[in-house]
Amino acid sequence: MPNVVIAGGGVVGCATAVHLLEASPGLEVVIVEPDPTYARAATGRGTGGVRQLFTRPENIALSQYTLEVIEGWQQWAGHPASHLNWRPNGYLFVAGARDVRDLAANLETQQRHGVDAEWLEPGRLAERYPQVHVADLAGAVLSVRDGWLDPKAFFAAVRAKAAGLGADFVTDRVVDFVLTGTAVRFVTLASGRVLAADAVVNAAGIRAPELAARLHMRLPIEPMRRHEHYVETSADLNHLPFVKDIDGLAVHPHLSGLSVGLVDFDHPGGEDFAADSSYYARSVAPALTHRLRHLGVLTEQRTWTGLYDQNRFDGNMILGNWPGRLDNFYVATGFSGHGFMHALGVGRGLAELILTGDYRTVDLHRMGHQRILDDRPYPEHGIR
């Protein structure tokens, strides 16, 4: 029976193991993860959002698969969806005059690919969500099926399913490879242990580029810091959807208030977890109080940071192998903030590619490494 070694035991690595083992019971799958507490893993520091409002059909389809799993969570995970704190309040994308045409065109793409989304003129938006300030808006799109959940609970279930299916979790770090021709045959760990491999998956997040570089595979990925803030309010905002705009504001109801972030896409890359104590007051609070009104008393309770494995080339994932150069070495990185919501579909796609040599459910070839070599970006359009 062939061996698959997965570098990285986060949600992408575990989802890949789940789909490999479901498709091929008895397969030997080893997941190598240096930190079993996942203290700095991206999944536990994210917002847990799942949305279909993308412009590339692959990303739409990957989100739709995640929603299918969530909606059938009892059968998939063995316990009720209430464990996830799933809140299907929808996603709301808003745009001003500068961006409204793109938003409308993107909606047409989304609806062609089965997204249940509707257009809201500013007046109708104000009637539906009086807290949303619409004076500077020219339109909005609401996807009613989307929502958010507890990412830690979701990940714990995916990891438990991988373990239950037979994945072997090893606390160690992948540091090198032994290549024979175009295939990786052995994986070297920091402890000195060597694992035989018929296939290797590089799902190491921000560490993925340095692992790929060992095999002369260039990945234009770097860590990018993102702040998230929990703000308590004296108003009841639990009916609101997940609101996003073109300038990076992302806000949704959480606990007794709001979870809010404002992504600084120009922040220099680097493994920086330091929280900028002035960022909320300087940048986030003004954006929040401009877009949402009647919030009552706002109290910043907590700020935390996480890292995107940011693809500086085009902001989309890099997935798959390097045919003719690295036939059995597969990467899954560069998610740029979308890895959590797409992990299940990515894991399914990688399992198909490894076991059959091709994608069977969602064609993910355009997300491949070849576009990096060809200098052919494949970015999302509009709100990231």
Kindly list the averaged pLDDT for each block of 10 residues, start to end, along the chain of length 384. Answer: 88 98 97 91 84 98 98 91 92 97 98 98 98 97 97 95 97 98 97 97 96 97 91 95 94 95 77 82 94 93 89 96 95 94 98 97 97 97 86
Residue 155's nearest CA partner among 66, 25, 243 is 66
Give the three-class secondary structure for 161: helix
What is the per-residue pLDDT for 82? 80
Given this model, what pLDDT does residue 273 score? 75
Cα–Cα nearest to 265, from 310, 323, 297 = 310
Neighbours of 36 (CB within 10 A): 11
Tell me what pLDDT residue 1 has.
45
Average pLDDT score over the chain: 94
Tokens of 231: 């703000």
- Cβ–Cβ under 8 Å, residues 341 and 66: yes
**How long, in residues, is the chain?**
384
pLDDT at residue number 332: 98
- Tell me, what's the pLDDT at 264? 76
Q: In what order do the strands lie in the sheet with 326-333?
A: 168-170, 28-32, 3-7, 199-202, 326-333, 318-322
Q: Which CATH number fits domain 88-144+223-305: 3.40.50.1820, 3.90.870.10, 2.130.10.10, 3.30.9.10?
A: 3.30.9.10
What residue ranges do the domains of the chain occupy?
A: 3-48+152-220+314-374, 88-144+223-305
Q: What's 280's DSSP letter?
A: I
Distances (CA, A) of 15 to 21, 196, 340, 347: 10, 21, 10, 5
133 backbone dihedrals φ, ψ, rounded to 5°: -75, 120
pLDDT in tens, 22-55: 999 999 999 999 999 888 787 777 889 999 999 9
Position 7: which residue type?
A: A
- Angle subtended at Cα 140 by Cα 137 and Cα 144, rounded to the nearest 5 degrees: 150
- Residue 184, pLDDT score: 97
d(CA 241, CA 232): 17
Dihedral angle sign, alpha carbons of residues 345, 348, 354, 359: negative
- Is-contact 251 260, C-beta < 8 A? yes
- Per-residue confidence (pLDDT) for residue 29, from 0 to 100: 98
pLDDT score for 48: 92
Say if CB 69 and CB 161 are below 8 A apart. Answer: no
pLDDT of residue 326: 97
Q: What is the DSSP letter of 83?
A: G
Nearest to 362 by CA among 49, 133, 63, 26: 63
CATH class for the domain made up of 3-48+152-220+314-374: alpha beta
pLDDT value at residue 2? 64
C-alpha 237, offset from chain centre: 25
CA dist 245 and 99 (Å) reads 10
181: left (phi over 0), alpha (psi -120 to 50) or beta: left
Residue whose C-alpha is closest to residue 306's, from 342, 337, 283, 334 = 337
CA-based nearest residue to 332, from 31, 70, 23: 31
